[in-house]
Amino acid sequence: MIADFFRLVVSTLIHRKLRSVLTVLGIVIGITAVVALISLGKGLQFAINEQFNSVGTNRVIVRPAGNNFGPPTTGTGSSKITEHDIDIIKKIDGVSFTFGFLLDPGKIESNSKTKFGYIQGIPDDPSKYGSISSIFEVVKGRSFKPGDRSKAIIGNDLANKDAFFGKPLNVGDKITIEGKTFDIIGIRKKTGNPVWDQIFIIPITTHRAMFNSGDKFAIVNVEVSSSSTPDIVADKIKKELRKDRHLKEGEEDFAVETSAELLASFNTVLGVVQAVLIGIATISLVVGGVGIMNTMYTSVLERTKDIGILKSIGAKDSDILILFLIESGTIGLIGGIIGTAIGIGLGKLVEFVALQIWGTPLIKAEFPPYLIIGALMFSFIVGSIAGILPARQASKMNPVDALRYE
């Protein structure tokens, strides 16, 4: 009997093509948006997790308080991390290596073009800082060595795209940073982060003189030894810095975070943003559900005589109810199938554009099975719920009155 119901439903939908298409449209838009947004959110989350794992989870980050948004620039505020703080951190049990870097916006000139970008200052000899030096791994040319002053390392995008200075930069080229000429000696490994892939890196001593940053740091990286854990070391750093600065707990003018805490914070923010966007997309599903309800009410009126005939030949109220519920659920499911397919295509398109135009592998589209199955089930449920009232109205019709309906 269910098979007969489905055949009847399909026949009805085909007979009313335009109405069916318009009814399905709301569900299609909603499911497309939900699938695309969730897939891109999951892909971004997966890519960020990979980034953190590749850098290492045995890290603690120390930075001035209040520098929560955007790249961690050195800044000019009263809150600061200095060489003195690094000396304190180095003495803490469980600390393997530590070093700070600087980051400031500046003017860069090359090929008769002027751009503004971020200038990063790192230690003149990163190799002596253990595995932390992997953050600045060079894929072409070399890294800094003691004595380098007018040398620069560039982000990977600057060597592979011509959108910045009209042509890609390469090892051996010269660039001018804040009026000073530098020789490019290396190209940094691609990170997938647009800020770091478009960075200009110079020796920290040169950076200090250029930006007059004194002994401040934008961020201090701390590598934790195998004999301790990031959480324990982070607590010790907070305690020692508070003691040195004569601050009580909660009054800190600095922030100490582990890699796991940074990742958790990012995932929390990403989750909130994704939830808001999905909530907006869900409005389309609600509108689609209302559309299905209106269509089903119209369908009930148009098929009043058909309902009377079915009841007169023995169809039960439950049969009529099921028939119209299957029809509304099928409309929702069709919208779900089309929306899911478009959502997958849209997600992959965004991933392709991000890789080809922006050069970032961070924007990926992931489609776990539960996302596809959930989207289809949800669309069917929305359709079925939207059809409950019209289906109930149809099932309660008196067969005699239905046959007399004009």
3 bridge partner residues:
none
Is residue 132 over pLDDT 70? Answer: no
In a domain, residue 61? The reply is no
Query: What is the tens place of the pLDDT at every residue in 137-192?
Result: 889 999 888 888 899 999 888 887 766 777 888 999 999 999 999 999 999 988 77
In a domain, residue 387? The reply is yes
Confidence of residue 302 (pLDDT cuts 50, 70, 90): confident
How many domains would you assign to the chain? 2
Domain boundary among 227, 252, 277: 252
Same domain membership, residue 393 and residue 281: yes
Higher pLDDT, 52 or 293: 293
The predicted model gives 198-212 an average pLDDT of: 91
The predicted model gives 312-324 an average pLDDT of: 81
**What percentage of the chain carries pLDDT values higher than 70?**
84
Same domain membership, residue 325 and residue 221: no
Range of the domain at 383: 2-52+264-404
The predicted model gives 286-302 an average pLDDT of: 81
Alpha carbon 402 to its chain centroid, in Å, reads 55
- Asked if 48 and 266 count as a contact pair (C-beta separation under 8 A), the reply is yes
Q: Identify the top-confidence range among 12-21, 352-361, 385-394.
A: 385-394
Residue 316, Cβ neighbours under 10 Å: how many?
Answer: 11
In a domain, residue 58? The reply is no
Is residue 2 over pLDDT 60? Answer: no
Domain boundary among 252, 273, 304: 252
Rounded CA gap, 73 and 3, in Å?
A: 66
Q: What angle do CA 392, 393, 397 make, to 5 degrees?
A: 115
Least confident piece of the model among 11-20, 107-116, 248-257, 308-317: 11-20
Give alpha helix (H) positions in 200-303: 204-211, 230-245, 259-302
- Asked if 384 and 328 count as a contact pair (C-beta separation under 8 A), the reply is yes
Same domain membership, residue 88 and residue 47: no
User: Running DSSP on this structure, what letter comes out for residue 257?
Assistant: E
**Given this model, what pLDDT does residue 175 score?**
93
- What's the mean per-residue pLDDT of the chain? 82
Q: What angle do CA 184, 186, 192 make, to 5 degrees?
A: 115
From its phi and psi, is residue 256 left (phi > 0), alpha (psi between -120 and 50) or beta? beta
In a domain, residue 162? The reply is yes
Is residue 76 over pLDDT 80? Answer: no
Alpha carbon 388 to its chain centroid, in Å, reads 38
Same domain membership, residue 195 and residue 94: yes
Domain boundary among 207, 232, 252: 252
Same domain membership, residue 196 and residue 72: yes
Same domain membership, residue 207 and residue 130: yes
Is residue 316 over pLDDT 70? Answer: yes
Rounded CA gap, 365 and 35, in Å?
A: 10
Confidence of residue 99 (pLDDT cuts 50, 70, 90): confident
Rounded CA gap, 363 and 48, in Å?
A: 9
User: Is the entire prediction scored with pTM above 0.75?
Assistant: no
Confidence of residue 70 (pLDDT cuts 50, 70, 90): low
Same domain membership, residue 169 and residue 45: no
The predicted model gives 283-311 an average pLDDT of: 80
Same domain membership, residue 273 and residue 229: no
Same domain membership, residue 229 and residue 81: yes
